[in-house]
Amino acid sequence: MSAIQDIRAILKEDILPLFKAVPLRADKIEKRIDELRSSYKYNGNFYNDLKDGAWLEKIEKPGLMLSLYLKRKWLKEAKFNISYNHTNIMYMRFELIKKWISKKDLGYINSLTRKDRYENDQEAGNQEFMEYMEKK
């Protein structure tokens, strides 16, 4: 077998299955984030945990490949004008992959509208999110 054939075999047998599994693992992480947000009985407790990232202790951290996939996916899907609960979930998603969020990404996130179609502000949690993201 030539070196090129070896590389093709490795890609087909070892690497490709990893890429195929990424969207399935992403769905699992998104469901877990939804569950965690729903588990808070009091918004004050949630916002405290959002500010210091305490909620992250309750979720498995994604690896490099999955984190980069999630970053791309979540930046495309980012909407902060649906409901405050949806906005909170978006913030949780970005906190989970904080390591991969650049200042440019944060600028983009902050540029998105926070007003719903009735002009109600859905910005709940933005201050706590930004405090967490600005910590190194």
Show the domain range for 83.
22-134
CA angle (91 as vertex; 90, 95 as ends), nearest 5: 120
pLDDT, residue 10, reads: 64
In 3D space, the residue among 123, 33, 108 whose CA is nearest the CA of residue 76 turns out to be: 108
CA distance 90 to 124: 11
Domain assignment present for residue 1? The answer is no
Does residue 117 lie in a domain region? Answer: yes
pLDDT in tens, the chain (136 residues): 687 777 776 656 666 666 666 788 899 999 999 999 999 999 999 999 999 999 999 999 999 889 999 999 999 999 998 998 999 999 999 999 999 999 999 999 999 988 888 888 888 889 999 999 998 6
Is 10 domain-assigned? no
Backbone angles phi, psi at 113, to 5 degrees: -65, 145
Count of domains for the chain: 1
pLDDT of residue 100: 96
Let me know if residue 33 belongs to a domain. Answer: yes
Give the CA-trace dihedral at 45, 51, 36, 27, to 10 degrees: 170
Residue 45 lies in a domain: yes
